Amino acid sequence: MTKLIIFSDLHMVPEGETIIGLDPYRRLANGIAHVNRYHADADRVIFAGDLTHRADRASYERLKALLGELTPPAALMIGNHDRRDVFLDVFAEATTDANGFVQQVLDFADCRAILLDTLFAPPYDYPVSHAGHLCDRRLAWLDRQLEEAGGRPALIFMHHPPHISGFAGIDMIRLVNEDDFYALVKRHGNVRHIFAGHVHRTISGSSRGIPFSIFKSPVHQQPMPFDTADASLSVDEPAAYGIALVTGDGVLVHTEDYEIARRDAVGA
């Protein structure tokens, strides 16, 4: 049974800075300590993009030092708040594909995890660059990875959801070529689950017949009114990460609100 831990939207900032009064470093540090204590046996901890808030070198270096405290192995993705060049300069050991995109495949006995690079930049012009995009080269790469899955179910990880979330502002900056993505995925028929971030909300469901899960951030969350057009608004709600378990029957997905989670239960 493969166990994957998923953090998304870390939004690391330089030392001394906060986001709506919250410290991304401290909140992620608490999450890493929680994973080390309760999920040290995880096969991988996937960090699904928006690793930093402003894509500055100091924040990437701060994140790299913090990830050194993680017990299970990590796999890093990038999102719309990242810069591919700065990320790769700091994380020189990060896996990329032949075209330099931050994409990789993780093969386990019972599944193939495919991590995509949906960054639609440079140029970094709002709002277009905050949407996601899979160019022809990235789609061709995904096509090959699905073809070579070898009969194992495929799990796709991407920062931007390839479908609507229900939040007006966020939906304007989702994956812009979702039709191309789903046409490819449906043609192969072996994708069992799609995982995404970007929304800063716990959301689950299915799109075009494929189950999906979206996770909260370890820092700030998306406010619940669906019709808010401003995608930058945030609220202070409990930090969270996801847990995916691959079973013989499918995929189980849990969310751990680790800063308020309790394990000292008593009988009613």
Phi/psi-derived region of residue 205, left when phi > 0, alpha when psi is between -120 and 50, beta in every other case: left
Q: CB-based burial of residue 139 (10 Å sphere; 0-12 exposed, 13-18 middle, 19+ buried)?
A: middle
Averaged pLDDT of the chain: 95
Kindly state which CATH superfamily the domain 3-256 is placed in: Metallo-dependent phosphatases (3.60.21.10)
pLDDT value at residue 124:
78
pTM of the predicted structure, to 2 decimals? 0.96
- Residue keyed to tokens 């994708």: 191
pLDDT reported for residue 62: 98
Q: Which of 156, 204, 200, 152 is nearest to 178 (CA)?
A: 156
How high is the pLDDT of residue 11?
A: 97
Domain limits of the chain? Answer: 3-256
Residue written as tokens 């495949």?
105
Q: Is the pLDDT of residue 125 over 90?
A: no
pLDDT of residue 47: 98
Per-residue pLDDT band at 159 (split at 50, 70, 90): very high
pLDDT at 225 over 90: no
Where b means 16+ CB within 10 Å and e means fewer, 221-240 reads bbbeeeeeeebeebeebebb
pLDDT band at 98 (very low <50, low <70, confident <90, very high): very high
- Residues 175-216 have pLDDT tens digits of 999 999 999 999 999 999 999 999 999 999 999 999 999 999
User: What pLDDT is recorded for position 264?
Assistant: 77
**What's the pLDDT tens digit per position in 31-90?**
999 999 999 999 999 999 999 999 999 999 999 999 999 999 999 999 999 999 999 999
Nearest to 8 by CA among 40, 49, 36: 49
Question: Per-residue pLDDT for 126 more than 80?
Answer: no
